[in-house]
Amino acid sequence: MPSRVGKYTIQLQTNPAVLGYAAVVGKKEGEGPYGQAYDQCHADTTLGEASWEKAESRLQNEAVHIALHKANLNNTDVNCIFAGDLLNQCISSTFGLRSLDIPFLGQFGACSTMAQTLAVASLFVESGAAVRAVAVTSSHFCSAERQYRYPLEYGGQRSPTAQWTATAAGSVILGTRSQYPTASIGLQAVTFGRIVDYGIKDAANMGAAMAPAAASTLIDYFNDTGTNPQDYDLVLTGDLGLVGSSLLDDLMQREGKDIRSVHNDCGLMIYDREKQDVHAGGSGCGCSAAILCSTILQQMDAGKLHKVLFLGTGALMSPTSSQQGESIPSVAHLVYLKS
Amino acid sequence: MPSRVGKYTIQLQTNPAVLGYAAVVGKKEGEGPYGQAYDQCHADTTLGEASWEKAESRLQNEAVHIALHKANLNNTDVNCIFAGDLLNQCISSTFGLRSLDIPFLGQFGACSTMAQTLAVASLFVESGAAVRAVAVTSSHFCSAERQYRYPLEYGGQRSPTAQWTATAAGSVILGTRSQYPTASIGLQAVTFGRIVDYGIKDAANMGAAMAPAAASTLIDYFNDTGTNPQDYDLVLTGDLGLVGSSLLDDLMQREGKDIRSVHNDCGLMIYDREKQDVHAGGSGCGCSAAILCSTILQQMDAGKLHKVLFLGTGALMSPTSSQQGESIPSVAHLVYLKS
């Protein structure tokens, strides 16, 4: 049974088990620092599909199938799938997963979606509502650019604070601990974030908009559990990029919780910022999903990482809200993984 | 603890309690058959806001505040809020609820969102992950028309199979049964639907696209629980409209589960189809939310209705997927309410 700890944190007494995971990425991501860690790197942004949206759907579909295969499971072994993405009406998820015939629960948390799907799935497994559940999300540079910004053909200039939407998908399969007592990685706790809005209106500087939400949830978690940054091997945010990450470090220092020695950000990890011209770093649901579902969980499986706080951050705006002069509300959800 | 029954159904052993509910609607809905049942009817589609999107956000905000007030609760008494809507990136929910300071979990199920938010909230309360949780959703005719179809100024003609997106929001507050033993309405079971796609491509005939998904989930539930339509006072779908409702009745008859004597549809209830020129009926997340959170829960509180299967149906498409020649995948989620 899950039990509430402090004001916002939920402890998972049974430690739902990670049964399998997979990351599928595009060409640019495959050429990044963790190219060798992904299960599949595509050389073509369309994946041979007729549109970028269909290509993104396929990223999710492949991420789930590979993770199921690695866990020696079939789609019929899974009780429910939690999925979401950045496209309007979450069509990467709905079209990418419709063939799976698994009860489908669409989630929307913008770039915090991987943490949200993982957190909700873990609670379903912890409570017995599901024996096995899948969490998956994706993003695609081309489908996101034309939906949120400009047609690619226009060649719009990017500001230094802008982040590059990753073409990637990541998937995790969770199972009830009693059936998988020896699984090396388990989920220990989750903290769902409240919406935070500091009034930032620059949609080309989402890291700055999301940093306060990340700080809010991280502080809630540390307060609820009475722990400190140094109690963990890694505080992994996704995706604040360069600007947001340094803002978060500052905000946490002011709260007396210095995370600099253990903090890393998926948006800073997925690309080589020197060589790959991604300005402030990577972003998109698929960015944190691909980093978590490759090098991070691999290092935990290998015993190189043990205590990881995964903190997904999302900017809850749309082109319409920005056009109407609105600021960018943000949210961050936390999952504590232990091996 | 929730317990799995059959292949797809989850039984809620503690029967999470309905602590409060509210429905807030627009002018046309207020002039409909259930105008007297809503907590608030607005005479102006903008609610005095600068845009229809901001007006829709306000519908959700009011629905939550009124429900909290009716339950004698404050926002700080609630552990998490499950919300979603039809707008891109769910901005009615994110902007409408950002001031509440309640952990926020965005849900996307198109018009099945009220059932999905209610079902997930009930599992959080059942398991102890939340002591109190809120489920809320909304839709707005004007914001939906310009996002999904045409600018209102264009005055596009509507086909006879088209449904009218309701300007409405509904909210339910759930609480753990042990703290509210005398609450009259409780949630007994939920069944999450699988994505069903019969290849329907007409976005002006969503009822036909959604009916097979409704049939699939309803049959799953009857099979899992060994019950029949006649074991319930009402099978309430939302929102199939005229075309989808008759299709569902046919599909269920073929399966030997005749629901005609107990079936009603929120899309057929919310407007007077003779007088209000809504063609096949109402639709939109807010349609089933407003009907459930007014006359239905009121009749259950008054002892006039006891066993209700609430079946939310959603068409998981977007204008982009339709423009790319895709069909309309659909999903339906079921919640069993008892008083």
Report the gap between the CA of A98 and the closest CA in chain B (Å).
5
Cβ of B2 within 8 Å of Cβ of A110? The answer is no
Q: Which residues contact A236 (CB under 8 A, 6 or more apart)?
A: A263, A264, A265, A266, A288, A291, A292, A296, A308, A309, A310, A311
Q: What span, in angstroms and rounded, lies between the C-alpha atoms of B71 and B68? A: 5
Cβ of B195 within 8 Å of Cβ of A110? The answer is no
Residue B72 to residues A39, B78, B80, B83, B134, Cα–Cα distance (Å)? 52, 12, 17, 21, 14
Q: What span, in angstroms and rounded, lies between the C-alpha atoms of B170 and B286? A: 6
Question: Can you give the length of chain B in residues?
Answer: 339
Residue whose token pair is 């519908």: B59
pLDDT, position B178: 97
Residue B30 in tokens: 């207020």
Q: What span, in angstroms and rounded, lies between the C-alpha atoms of B337 and B308? A: 5
B226-B227-B232 Cα angle (round to 5) = 165
- Looking at chain B, which residue has its C-alpha nearest residue A318? B89
Percent of chain A with pLDDT over 90: 97
Residue whose token pair is 């999300």: A137
Q: Burial of A208 by CB count in 10 Å (0-12 exposed, 13-18 middle, 19+ buried)?
A: buried
Mean pLDDT of chain A: 97
- What is the DSSP secondary structure assignment for residue B280, as one 8-state letter? T
Question: Can you give the length of chain A in residues?
Answer: 339
A321-A81-A102 Cα angle (round to 5) = 125
- What is the DSSP secondary structure assignment for residue B99, as one 8-state letter? G
Percent of chain B with pLDDT over 70: 100
pLDDT digits (tens, 9 = 90+) for B176-228: 999 999 999 999 999 999 999 999 999 899 999 999 999 999 999 999 999 99
Q: What span, in angstroms and rounded, lies between the C-alpha atoms of A87 and A52? A: 11
Which neighbouring-strand residues pair with B9? Answer: B5, B191
Cβ of B321 within 8 Å of Cβ of A91? The answer is yes
Residue B315 to residues A91, A143, A337, B81, Cα–Cα distance (Å)? 11, 21, 35, 23
Cβ of A331 within 8 Å of Cβ of B104? The answer is yes
- Looking at chain A, which residue has its C-alpha nearest residue B194? A103
Residue whose token pair is 């809005």: A197
pLDDT, position A260: 98
Q: What span, in angstroms and rounded, lies between the C-alpha atoms of A91 and A113? A: 14
Mean pLDDT of chain B: 97
- Looking at chain B, which residue has its C-alpha nearest residue A197? B98
Tell me the residue type at B155.
G
Residue B278 to residues A145, B28, B203, B268, B283, Cα–Cα distance (Å)? 37, 10, 16, 10, 10
Question: Of B8, B100, B103, which is closest to A8 when you measure between CB atoms?
Answer: B103
Which neighbouring-strand residues pair with B183? Answer: none
Name the CATH architecture for the domain at A3-175: 3-Layer(aba) Sandwich (3.40)
CATH assignment of B187-338, among 3.40.50.720, 3.90.550.10, 3.40.47.40, 1.10.540.10: 3.40.47.40
The pTM assigned to this predicted structure is 0.98
pLDDT digits (tens, 9 = 90+) for A194-214: 999 999 999 899 999 999 999
- What is the DSSP secondary structure assignment for residue A274, as one 8-state letter? T
Cβ of A194 within 8 Å of Cβ of B101? The answer is yes
Alpha helices in B164-265 (DSSP H): 206-225, 241-254
- pLDDT band at B156; cut points 50, 70, 90: confident
Report the gap between the CA of B304 and the closest CA in chain A (Å).
31
Residue A23 in tokens: 């990351």
Residue A124 in tokens: 């379903």
pLDDT digits (tens, 9 = 90+) for B260-319: 999 999 999 999 999 999 999 999 999 999 999 999 999 999 999 999 999 999 999 999
Q: What span, in angstroms and rounded, lies between the C-alpha atoms of B33 and A155? A: 53
Q: What span, in angstroms and rounded, lies between the C-alpha atoms of A64 and B188? A: 31
Q: What span, in angstroms and rounded, lies between the C-alpha atoms of A259 and A249? A: 6
Domain ranges of chain B: 3-175, 187-338
What is the three-class DSSP state of B4? strand
Which neighbouring-strand residues pair with B83? Answer: B106, B136
Strands B132-139 and A282-283 turn out to be: unpaired
- Whether residue A138 contacts residue A92, with contact meaning beta carbons closer than 8 Å, is answered with yes
CB < 8 Å to B316, chain A: 89-91, 94-95, 98, 106
CA dihedral sign of residues B251, B252, B254, B260:
negative
Residue A338 to residues A187, A194, B100, B103, Cα–Cα distance (Å)? 6, 24, 32, 24
Residue B66 in tokens: 């009124």
pLDDT digits (tens, 9 = 90+) for A130-157: 999 999 999 999 999 999 999 999 988 8
Q: What span, in angstroms and rounded, lies between the C-alpha atoms of B106 and B124? A: 14
- pLDDT band at A228; cut points 50, 70, 90: very high
Residue B294 to residues A295, B40, B42, B165, Cα–Cα distance (Å)? 50, 10, 15, 18
Evaluate whether A3-175 and A187-338 have a shared fold.
yes
Radius of gyration of chain B from its Cα atoms, rounded to whole angstroms? 18
Cβ of B79 within 8 Å of Cβ of A110? The answer is no
Cβ of B318 within 8 Å of Cβ of A8? The answer is no
- Looking at chain B, which residue has its C-alpha nearest residue A324? B51
Find the range with the poorest average confidence among A60-74, A162-176, B149-163. B149-163
Residue whose token pair is 């060994």: B226
Q: What span, in angstroms and rounded, lies between the C-alpha atoms of A5 and A11? A: 7
Closest alpha carbon to B129 in B120, B117, B116: B120
Q: What span, in angstroms and rounded, lies between the C-alpha atoms of B18 and A155? A: 53
Q: What ipTM was assigned to the predicted interfaces of this complex?
A: 0.98
- pLDDT band at A224; cut points 50, 70, 90: very high
Q: What span, in angstroms and rounded, lies between the C-alpha atoms of B195 and A232? A: 39
Cβ of A106 within 8 Å of Cβ of B116? The answer is yes
